[in-house]
Amino acid sequence: MPLVEINAVSKQYPRRAGLRMEWQAVVRDVSFAIEPGETLGLVGESGSGKTTVARMVLGLVSASSGTVRVDGVDLGRASAREMRRLRRQMQPVFQDPYAALNPRMNVLEIVSEPFLIHGRELGFATSRAALRAKAVELLRAVGLDASALTRHPHEFSGGQRQRINIARALALRPRLLILDEPVSALDVSVAAQIVNLLRGLQREHGLTYLFISHSMPLVRYLSTRIAVMERGRLVEMGEAEELCANPREPYTRKLLAATPELPAAMGP
């Protein structure tokens, strides 16, 4: 069974047109599935609807029509309890790690907060010592050490902040990470390190990724399959290598031509 299955999904937003309101379709009739353990790359120009798709998969906005299923459950019909369970299974990682981190919390608090919120329900120990041990384990997994625990987000570089964000996302052992432009705000060499970290984490933990990016080379490097969005529509989808070698759509060719090559640090 696919972990994510979206079927004929559309999303419309109201928009002011002069004195009237009209509906603007920002996602139109999109269908795809993500199998456990794979990375589906979602690529397209700015405004093509990628983040809107991600937010519908996360259950943060509802589809105007069509169905979104996660782990077989239709999000449009899920109970609050099922929704809580599914929310733990899928964690977002967004472009701007600073915006996602509470500046007043230290890293121990940031990384262990998910355990305080969900821990009891999941049977995690939530004593101080247990939380600290968990936090250290998560930091190690993303290449940071215990010295980070008492520091605050502003004391870290952009790449380190994204590592903290990823550590937090991994806390409750999710199955799916929704990675929305996770390295777009970072320098090329730092981006390469984070992408390689994501690759390693996926192998180690059998994670499934929805990886969103403008950058074709980046998407190609990380993805099993690629879905291409243009103005709300999914115009082409296929195996990553095949799609990049033989793009059918002129739009896909344009995206391939527009983006620079990967830095050397990201060779296959």
Ligand X SMILES: Nc1ncnc2c1ncn2[C@@H]1O[C@H](COP(=O)(O)OP(=O)(O)OP(=O)(O)O)[C@@H](O)[C@H]1O
Check residue 52 for interaction with ligand X (CB under 6 A): yes
The correct pick among 50, 69, 88, 220 for binding ligand X (CB under 6 A) is: 50
Tokens representing 89? Answer: 């299974």
The correct pick among 10, 39, 51, 193 for binding ligand X (CB under 6 A) is: 51
Check residue 51 for interaction with Mg ion (CB under 5 A): yes
Check residue 48 for interaction with Mg ion (CB under 5 A): no
202: partner contacted, choices ligand X, Mg ion, none (Cβ within 5-8 A by kind): none
Tokens representing 34? Answer: 């993500």
Amino acid at 230: E
C-alpha distances out from residue 207 to 35, 84, 138, 204, Å: 10, 19, 15, 8
By CB under 6 A, which span of 42-50, 116-124, 186-194, 237-245 interacts with ligand X? 42-50
Residues 105 and 152 sit within 8 Å (Cβ to Cβ): yes
Residues 173 and 141 sit within 8 Å (Cβ to Cβ): no
Complex with ligand X: residue 5 or 181, whichever CB lies closer? 181
Parallel, antiparallel, or unpaired: how do β-strands 225-230 and 233-239 relate? antiparallel
Complex with Mg ion: residue 51 or 252, whichever CB lies closer? 51
Complex with ligand X: residue 6 or 201, whichever CB lies closer? 6
| Residues in 194-233 at the binding interface with ligand X, rule: CB under 6 A | 214
Size of the site for Mg ion (CB under 5 A): 1
DSSP string, 117-177: HHHHHHT---SHHHHHHHHHHHHHHTT--GGGTT--GGGS-HHHHHHHHHHHHHTT--SEE
By CB under 5 A, which span of 11-19, 43-51, 237-245, 255-263 interacts with Mg ion? 43-51
| Residues in 9-28 at the binding interface with ligand X, rule: CB under 6 A | 13, 26
